[in-house]
Amino acid sequence: MGWFTKTEKKQAPAKDSVWIKCPKCTAHVFKEDWFNNLTVCPECNYHGRISAYERIGQLLDAGTFKELNSEITPADPLNFVDGKGSYIDKVAAARSKTNLNESVISGHGKIHDMTITIAVMDFRFLGGSLGSGTGEKILRMAGYAYDHGLPFIMISSSGGARMHEGMLSLVQMAKTCAAIARLNEKNLPYLSILTDPTTGGVSASYAMVGDINIAEPGALIGFAGRRVIEQTIKQKLPDNFQTAEYLLEHGFIDMIVQRRELKDTLAQLLSYYCR
């Protein structure tokens, strides 16, 4: 018989914390303050990632957004399977987790009573990757803007092209850029907003061809990963390499705008085009 017996304590169910720990500065922020500040850390100005519908709610006038082409979903022409399972299963899991059909939400609405078309990527859906469905939705939205004579706003948040679709994913880069370039025929503005992260084939295509390219503070923006570049060129890169601030300094983007100021900034820019 043992010298003593240890009674097992029942653990109380965990309660939702009232704090959020900033991923950058590790400051503890009241959850209510965090969300009231649009998921931006009040201590270090870290701009947290948010969903596509949250961005739409922040930027568009209340009740004006109408979604288009929501029925478009990913296809699996290659019957792709890797060591972690099939592409179809991953898509099903992403749809269940996010309640989205693709990595981009598209439609039209108003910003300060000005009608615009918009497409917003959501990083939660397979890393915001660019698949054939994503490209088709952007193509159609640019076409809608062209047909109705409206400005087009694109908000990118993506890890790049979707490898599960192979070459079919890569051709979306040219397809989307061609659709956007067509807007020039009618002098329709295309405003591109780059958020954290905007990388790979998305940064190498429609994200960087805006009439005005805007980034959120601290956003990771680039093509290949930092380690890949360092190992290729055998040089150490600056600490702020591939940040919005670095790109602004080197002329790759036009401005960096705080999330809270983005709606008013877009309205001001649009007013120049829509006179």
Give the model's pLDDT for residue 113. 96
Q: Which amino acid appears at position 47 of this protein?
A: H
Alpha-carbon 36 to chain mean position:
20
Tell me how crowded residue 260 is: count the other CB atoms within 10 A of its CB: 11
Give the model's pLDDT for residue 86. 97
Give the model's pLDDT for residue 273. 83
Determine how β-strand 19-21 pairs with β-strand 28-30: antiparallel
pLDDT band at 23 (very low <50, low <70, confident <90, very high): very high
Which residue's entry shows tokens 């959120």?
A: 216
Strand order across the 190-198 sheet: 66-67, 104-111, 114-121, 152-158, 190-198, 212-215, 255-256
- Average pLDDT (107-121) is 98
The closest alpha carbon to 147, from 105, 182, 174, belongs to: 182
Tell me how crowded residue 98 is: count the other CB atoms within 10 A of its CB: 18
Give the model's pLDDT for residue 13. 44
Give the model's pLDDT for residue 11. 53
CA distance 64 to 52: 15
CA distance 214 to 118: 15
- Average pLDDT (26-55) is 96
Which residue's entry shows tokens 């940064």?
A: 203
- Average pLDDT (21-48) is 96
Residue 1 predicted with pLDDT over 50: no
| 3-state SS assignment for residue 35 | helix
Strand ranges inside 9-101, DSSP E: 19-21, 28-30, 66-67, 81-82, 85-86
Give the model's pLDDT for residue 274. 73
Give the model's pLDDT for residue 211. 97
- Average pLDDT (155-170) is 96
192 versus 5: which is more confidently predicted?
Answer: 192
Give the model's pLDDT for residue 16. 62
Give the model's pLDDT for residue 17. 82
Give the model's pLDDT for residue 7. 54
CA distance 39 to 246: 23
- Average pLDDT (128-143) is 98
Alpha helices in 51-131 (DSSP H): 52-59, 87-98
Angle at which helix 52-59 crosses helix 262-273, to 10 degrees, equals 60
CA distance 114 to 128: 28
Give the model's pLDDT for residue 26. 96
State pLDDT tens for residues 179-195: 999 999 999 999 999 99
- Average pLDDT (129-152) is 98
Give the model's pLDDT for residue 127. 97
Give the model's pLDDT for residue 80. 96
Which secondary structure element, helix H or strand E, spans residue 256, and what is its range? strand 255-256
Q: Answer yes or no: are the C-beta atoms of 178 and 138 closer than 8 Å.
A: no
pTM across the whole model:
0.92
Residue 15 predicted with pLDDT over 70: no
State pLDDT tens for residues 251-262: 999 999 999 999
- Round the average pLDDT of the chain to a whole number and report it: 94
Domains of the chain and CATH, by start: 19-48 (no CATH), 50-273 (3.90.226.10)
Q: Answer yes or no: are the C-beta atoms of 223 and 204 closer than 8 Å.
A: yes
State pLDDT tens for residues 197-249: 999 999 999 999 999 999 999 999 999 999 999 999 999 999 999 999 999 99
Dihedral (CA of 243, 98, 23, 227) sign: negative
CA distance 224 to 199: 7
Which secondary structure element, helix H or strand E, spans residue 233, and what is its range? helix 226-233
